[in-house]
Structure formats: C-alpha cells, structure tokens
C-alpha cells in the first residue's frame, strides 16, 4: 500500500526551527532547513544525522524546499549544503533566493561577534549554497525529476513566502510554511486552489488565537511612537534587516506624512536602499495597493526615513531609529539602547520575539537593572513595549485554508503542543479528516489510496455516443472496454483495438455443460421437447431448431445424445460463448430442473 511518511526534525510541537522530512511514494523531500537562534552551538541546527543512518544525504534526499527567508526556516541551509555535504537541488522562490543571503550574512555577523563560535558557515559558503538554489515562480510546476513535481503558492507572511505542493504520481502533500490569511500593509493574503492533497502540513503558531485586527495594533504602535516623539523622547525599534522592518517603515512614513511630523526617522546600516531594491524587483509579490500606487510613487522610496549615522544617537531632541539586530543581541541596536536607556522620556519597541540570552529577552521579561560589560549596571528607565507584528494565520485562518485545500489528512507543525491539541480536535470535528501532530523525531505514516488516471480511446467514446448515450456529469455510467498498460500509462480501449495494439490473436472461449434428462424417447424427439419448452419460456430471445437437429438460443447450442450405459437417459450438451455467460448459466439451470411433461 502506498504511504506518506512525515518526520519533523524541527517544528514538531515547537516553534524553534522548521525542518520536516516527507517521504512520498518513495521520494524524500526536506521541507525547510531552519536554525534556532537560542543556541550557540550545534544545537542551533537540526540534527541531520537522523536523515540517513549511514548513507549520504545527497543519495537519500531528492530535494530541499525552503518556504521563506526567515532564519528559523532557512538558517541552517549553508551548513547543510556546504558543511554536512548535501549536494542536491534546493528550491525556493525568486525573492527568497535574493533575500536569503542578506539575512544569513546578517546573522553570521552576530556569530562573529560572539567570539569562540565554531562550526559556522562563511560568506563563501553562503554564496556556494545560493548557487545551488533553483528559483521558482508562483504556480509554476517544476519537475524535480521524472516522478517528482513541486508547485509554489502565495503565502503572504513575508516577501516571497510560499506554500509548496509536492506531487508524485497521484499522491500529493502541501506544506504551508508560515502564512497569513489576511493582507497587511505590504503583502496580500495566502491563497491555494482546491488541490485536495493527501496531506496538508500546516503551521499552527496561533492555533488557539483569534487575532485582533492588525489595524488596532498599528494604531497602538503609532500612538506610542507619536506620544514619545511629542514629549521630546527618542524611539528605538530593533529589527531584522528585511521583513517586518519594511512594514513598519511604510506605516510610519504614511503617518508622518499625514500628521506633518518633523521629528527625524532613521534606518541603520543602509538597509533602506536594499529593501527598496528588493521590493521594487519583486513588486508583483506585494499587495494590490502597493502595486497600484507604484506607478505614481514607489512606496519604498521614503521621504521621511533617512540613513542613520552613529553620531546621530547623541543628537538632542526626538527621533525614531530602526536598528539591527532585532533582539538587541549586539551591534548598533544595542549600542543605541545603552545610550538611551537611562532616560524615561525614551521608548524601545520590540516588534518581535526575543530568545533567551539576549538583552531583548531581559527587558521584555521586565528586568530593569542590566549588567553591562565592565561590571557596569545599566538602569533601564526608558519605556519598554512589546508589539508582535508577526504575520501568521490565526485559528480562523488555518481553518479557512483547510477548507480551501480540502486535504484528506492534516498535520500540524510550528506550534505549541497544547495549542495544537485544541486545533487538532477542531479540525477533526469540522472536516472529518485525521489530524496529526508529531513531536520532533516521531514519524507519522499515512496510507494513501492513490487514484490512477486512465485515458479512454476516442473510438470507444464514439461507440458509446452512437448508442445515443450522451455524457452527463450528473449521471455517471458504466462503460466496458479493455484496460491496457502501455508506455507507462493506462488506457481503456475497445477489445478489438486492444488486440490490434498489442498484436494478439483473439481466442474464442466456449463453456460447455452436460445436463442429464430422463427421457426414453429418441434424441430428435428430446430435442424437439427442449425446443418447445425453451420457446415458451424464453419469449424475448430467438430460439431456433437447426437442420442438424440441434437447438440454438442466441449463441447457445444444445444437442442431445443418448447415454452410453442408460438408454433411458439423454445427455444434453449445452455450449455457450463467454458473451452469453449469463444466459448460458440460466439455461443450464432451467434444463436441470427437467422438461415439463409432454401432453399425452
């Protein structure tokens, strides 16, 4: 029985780093290759040694698919391809391929800052890895090999994020990666067609949450920034290079324009130009509004947002600064934070999650006295705000996607066990499908019932038409024909065509049966009795008495002979073709009951 096997190496009942192995009709695919930013050693990467016990990865895996550029989905890729030694194809969308190296470089810098880091990839490795990547377009069916094909669908979430359909023959699975079912400032909502996969592997970050409208969060964010700036304070927004930063930039830019605000907004490390470049390049991946206005004005050419210079941090007066890295790990964002933390007029807004081991984590957990280098204590007087702008589907959105794709089974990843449990029940109740939530290292095996497509010959169809039976979608009907397997596909043809195509001669198959009848009369008379009996019973059929003394009903032939040992018994030889099997057996059973008494 064909089966689909899924083993998460990461993202099984957690949101650490995604890495899911799928085996479908003998093809092995790795979905995402993420990194966990909370570790400083090899534990940050999935343990790839579990993929094959002894064999080489390249021989085992048919391809790797990356859903989007966030590091928890692609961060381990250069390690996997350049250090662990995977040398096969890697697929991602065009924007992901372009942006991935920027984020990987960004993170590589953080690890260089953390001295003593070993086993981490170099710039050259990132490039070599990216050169192995095959970029795909949305809705383009890509043939990985003769049997395996993949197709990308729009996922929202971040620029270039995609869901992937993986198909081998008639079996298929869809992996959502991270997705968002509601459009935001710069991206549209995820969409997939009714592809009815055997399995839908979906993220479930907000499995139990119905998120408030993003508008509220945006209003809140703007209000806080505005208030701080009005009272002369400075606002620090630590971000990662690309993604959420651009969304917030658009938000502030529009607000500044509308309110005619004068306080400067800065963006560190020259990323505005870069972002500008990529969003321009991949404008088709943004939402409709941006695409429309792009003709008149590029949304990413900001009027109010300028490049940041280190010296600006000491300038008096209000300002807003976007600085990297996003968790106040080190570098510029941390340096600015140190300068501004002591003033209660200032504010830091953390727009995303922070792992343990970062200053971001500390201030979000309410710690206000931080130890700094050189045994100094930094007292945080500035306001600390947390506002998650992460763009994931909420419970409603996930259900909506399941409805849209109509899968046979659902498997939850990228979420917390407790929340998954809740959503699992909901999905099973509402859609009557099985829902799974394997932990990391656990394998889910699904048996599939593959549909095998069969072609039908035109001749056969025409013959049916000639019988006056026009096709009707609402009334399926039975058709007879010969199924032939040729050139790797199945076709239903007429038996004549099958014989012709296969170069075979036709065999005639006749069934024969002996029926003993007690009758002392001569054979001819017995035959006559049979003839008249059948004539009276089988009124709808043609019953003939042939000159050679036999009786014929359609193709069925009946002859009578005397029994060699018992002259009082006649043996009726009944013979019929395969086509008249039904009538033949009916006739035999009829004759076995004996003949009616002849009127004397």
Partner 1 sequence: MDIECSRLLPSVCAVLVDPKQFVADDTCLEKLLDWFKTVTEAESSLLVLQENPCLTELLFHVVKLQDVNSNILSFTLRLAGIFAAHENSFQYLQQGEVLLSLFSEAGPLSRPAWEDPSVRSGWIQGVGSMVQHERAVQFLCDCGAIDVIFSLQGDPSLFVASTASQLLVHILGFTMHSRRAVPLTTQDCDWPVCARMIVGHIEESLRSGTVPQITQALNVLTTLFGRCHESWTEVLWMRMNPFVGSLLEKEPLLAAHSLVDLFLSMARPQTLRTKAFNILLQPLACVLQAASQPTGSPGLLDESLNDSVITDILLSSKSSCAGLLCQTLAHLEELQPMSHLLIDWPHVPLLSAVMTILRFCSGLATPASSVGDRLCGILIGCFRVQRSALDFLGTLSQGPSPSELIRGVVEILLVYLKSPDSSPTVLKKAFQATLKWLLSLSKTSTSSDLCPQTQHFLRDLFPILQKRLCSPCWEVRDSALEFLTQLTKHWGGRAGFRQALLSSEVPELAEDLLRDPESYVRASAVTAMGQLSSRGLCSNPIGTGSKNDEKKSLFLELLEILSTDSEGFPRRAVIQVFTEWLREGHTDVSKDKEQFVTKVLQVVSCDLDWEVRVQGLELALVFLVQTLGQHETECPYAVEMSSVTQSTQLTESLQMLCHMKLFDFIFSALCDCDRPVARKSCDILLYLKAKLAHHGSLQGSGEACTESLGTQNTAWLETTLRKWKARDQGQPSEVADRGDCQEPDDVLEVLRSVDLEGLRGTLAKSSDHIEKSPQSLLQDMLATVGILEENEADCY
Provide, rounded to whole angstroms, the least separation between the CB of residue 125 and partner 1.
Answer: 13
Q: Nearest Cα to 491, choosing from 479, 481, 499?
A: 481
Write the binding mask 230 to 269 for partner 1: x where contact by CB under 8 A, - elsewhere: ----------x--x-------------------------x
> Judged by CB, which is closer to partner 1: 187, or 553?
187
Alpha-carbon distances, residue 314 vs 308, 383, 486, 511 (angstroms): 12, 19, 78, 104
**Of 82, 171, 203, 247, catalytic:** 203
Binding partner 1 (rule: CB under 8 A), the pick from 138, 149, 306, 357 is 357
Provide, rounded to whole angstroms, the least separation between the CB of residue 72 and partner 1.
Answer: 6
> Judged by CB, which is closer to partner 1: 270, or 459?
270
Q: Nearest Cα to 225, choosing from 318, 310, 302?
A: 318
CA terminus-to-terminus distance, the chain: 67
Distance CA 77, CA 92 (A): 12
Binding partner 1 (rule: CB under 8 A), the pick from 2, 83, 84, 132 is 132
Residue 366 sits in the site that holds partner 1 (CB under 8 A): yes
Sheet containing strand 27-31, edge to edge, reads 133-136, 90-93, 63-65, 27-31, 19-24, 3-10, 444-447
Which residue is it, tokens 């394998």? 443
Distance CA 289, CA 183 (A): 10
Write the binding mask 266 to 305 for partner 1: x where contact by CB under 8 A, - elsewhere: ---xx--xx--x----------------------------
Q: Which stretch binds partner 1 (CB under 8 A): 188-196, 350-358, 492-500, 523-531?
A: 350-358
Provide, rounded to whole angstroms, the least separation between the CB of residue 559 and partner 1.
Answer: 53
Provide, rounded to whole angstroms, the least separation between the CB of residue 343 and partner 1.
Answer: 16
Residue 310 sits in the site that holds partner 1 (CB under 8 A): yes
Distance CA 338, CA 340 (A): 6
Distance CA 225, CA 9 (A): 40
Alpha helices in 260-394 (DSSP H): 271-281, 288-294, 331-340, 359-364
Provide, rounded to whole angstroms, the least separation between the CB of residue 363 and partner 1.
Answer: 10
Q: Nearest Cα to 26, choosing from 150, 147, 200, 143?
A: 147
Site for partner 1 in 425-444 (CB under 8 A): 439-443
Write the binding mask 89 to 128 for partner 1: x where contact by CB under 8 A, - elsewhere: x-----------x---x---xx-xxxxxx-----x---x-
Kindly tell me the burial class for residue 83, based on how many C-beta atoms sit within 10 Å of its own C-beta (0-12, 13-18, 19 or more).
middle
> Judged by CB, which is closer to partner 1: 358, or 457?
358
Provide, rounded to whole angstroms, the least separation between the CB of residue 7 and partner 1.
Answer: 6
Q: What are the residues whose beta carbons fall under 8 Å from the beta carbon of 2, sequence distance 6 or more?
A: 25, 171, 447, 448, 450
Q: Which stretch binds partner 1 (CB under 8 A): 290-298, 370-378, 519-527, 572-580?
A: 370-378
Can you tell me whether residue 470 is helix, strand or coil?
coil
Q: Nearest Cα to 99, choosing from 29, 157, 151?
A: 157
Count of residues binding partner 1 (CB under 8 A)? 86
Name the pairing type of β-strands 510-518 and 569-577: antiparallel
Binding partner 1 (rule: CB under 8 A), the pick from 35, 364, 435, 515 is 364
Q: Which segments within 156-286 are labelled E, that is strand?
A: 162-168, 171-175, 199-203, 234-238, 265-267
Binding partner 1 (rule: CB under 8 A), the pick from 167, 185, 226, 361 is 361
Residue 353 sits in the site that holds partner 1 (CB under 8 A): yes
Q: Which stretch binds partner 1 (CB under 8 A): 12-20, 159-167, 183-191, 465-473?
A: 12-20
Site for partner 1 in 140-159 (CB under 8 A): 145-147
Provide, rounded to whole angstroms, the least separation between the CB of residue 19 and partner 1.
Answer: 13
Site for partner 1 in 193-212 (CB under 8 A): 205, 209
> Judged by CB, which is closer to partner 1: 416, or 464?
416
Binding partner 1 (rule: CB under 8 A), the pick from 151, 167, 362, 570 is 362
> Judged by CB, which is closer to partner 1: 177, or 584?
177
Site for partner 1 in 52-81 (CB under 8 A): 53-56, 58-59, 70-72
Q: Among this protein's residues, is 428 annotated catalytic? A: no
> Judged by CB, which is closer to partner 1: 365, or 579?
365
> Judged by CB, which is closer to partner 1: 251, or 334?
334
Distance CA 224, CA 457 (A): 70
> Judged by CB, which is closer to partner 1: 126, or 261?
126
Distance CA 173, CA 151 (A): 11
Distance CA 267, CA 343 (A): 21
Site for partner 1 in 164-193 (CB under 8 A): 178
> Judged by CB, which is closer to partner 1: 15, or 189?
15
Q: DSSP secondary structure string, 115-129?
A: TT--S---HHHHHHH
Vertex 203: Cα angle to 326 and 16 (nearest 5):
45
> Judged by CB, which is closer to partner 1: 203, or 519?
203
Q: What are the residues whose beta carbons fall under 8 Å from the beta carbon of 292, sequence distance 6 or more?
A: none
Which residue is it, tokens 């008149």? 296
Binding partner 1 (rule: CB under 8 A), the pick from 2, 38, 183, 450 is 38
Residues noted as catalytic: 203
């Amino acid at each position: 029985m064909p089966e689909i096997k899924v083993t998460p190496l990461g993202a099984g009942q957690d949101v650490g780093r995604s890495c899911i192995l799928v085996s479908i009709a003998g093809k092995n695919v790795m979905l995402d290759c993420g990194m966990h930013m909370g570790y400083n050693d090899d534990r940050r990467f999935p343990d790839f040694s579990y993929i094959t016990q002894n064999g080489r990865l390249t021989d085992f895996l048919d391809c790797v698919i990356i859903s989007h550029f966030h590091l928890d989905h692609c961060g381990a890729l250069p390690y996997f391809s350049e250090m662990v030694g995977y040398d096969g194809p890697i697929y991602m969308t065009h924007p992901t391929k372009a942006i991935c190296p920027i984020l990987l470089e960004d993170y590589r810098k953080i690890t260089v800052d953390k001295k003593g880091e070993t086993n981490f990839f170099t710039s050259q490795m990132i490039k070599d890895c990216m050169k192995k990547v095959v970029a795909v377009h949305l809705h383009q069916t890509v043939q990985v090999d003769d049997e395996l094909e993949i197709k990308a669908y729009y996922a929202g979430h971040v620029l270039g994020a995609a869901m992937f359909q993986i198909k081998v023959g008639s079996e298929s699975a869809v992996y959502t990666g991270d997705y968002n079912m509601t459009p935001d400032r710069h991206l549209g909502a995820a969409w997939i067609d009714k592809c009815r996969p055997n399995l839908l592997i979906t993220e479930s970050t907000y499995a139990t949450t119905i998120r408030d409208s993003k508008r509220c969060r945006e209003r809140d964010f703007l209000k806080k920034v505005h208030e701080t700036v009005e009272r002369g304070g400075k606002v620090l927004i630590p971000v990662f290079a690309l993604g959420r930063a651009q969304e917030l930039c658009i938000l502030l830019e529009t607000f500044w324009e509308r309110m005619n605000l004068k306080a400067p907004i800065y963006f560190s490390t020259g990323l505005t130009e870069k972002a500008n470049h990529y969003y321009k390049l991949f404008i088709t991946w943004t939402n409709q509004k941006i695409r429309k206005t792009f003709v008149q004005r590029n949304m990413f050419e900001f009027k109010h947002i300028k490049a940041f210079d280190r010296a600006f941090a000491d300038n008096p007066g209000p300002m807003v600064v976007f600085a990297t890295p996003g968790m106040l790990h080190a570098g510029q964002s941390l340096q600015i934070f140190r300068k501004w933390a002591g003033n209660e007029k200032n504010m830091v807004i953390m727009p995303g999650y922070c792992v343990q081991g970062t200053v971001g984590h500390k201030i979000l957990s309410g710690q206000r006295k931080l130890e700094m280098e050189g045994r100094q204590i930094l007292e945080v007087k500035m306001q600390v705000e947390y506002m998650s702008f992460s763009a994931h589907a909420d419970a409603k959105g996930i259900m909506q996607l399941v409805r849209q794709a109509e899968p046979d089974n659902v498997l939850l990843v990228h979420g917390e066990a407790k929340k998954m449990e809740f959503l699992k029940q909901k999905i099973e109740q509402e859609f009557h499908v099985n829902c799974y939530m394997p932990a990391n290292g656990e394998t889910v095996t699904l048996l599939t019932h593959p549909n095998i497509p069969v072609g039908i010959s035109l001749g056969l169809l025409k013959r049916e038409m000639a019988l006056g039976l026009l096709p009707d979608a609402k009334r399926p009907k039975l058709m007879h024909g010969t199924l032939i397997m040729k050139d790797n596909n199945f076709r239903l043809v007429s038996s004549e065509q099958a014989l012709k195509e296969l170069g075979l001669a036709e065999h005639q198959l006749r069934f024969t049966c002996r029926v003993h009848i007690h009758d002392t009369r001569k054979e001819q008379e017995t035959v006559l009795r049979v003839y008249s009996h059948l004539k009276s019973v089988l009124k709808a059929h043609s019953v003939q008495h042939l000159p050679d003394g036999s009786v014929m009903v359609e193709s069925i032939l009946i002859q009578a002979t005397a029994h060699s040992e018992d002259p009082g018994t006649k043996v009726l030889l009944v013979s019929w073709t395969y086509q008249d099997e039904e009538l033949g057996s009916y006739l035999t059973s009829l004759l076995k009951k004996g003949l009616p008494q002849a009127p004397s």
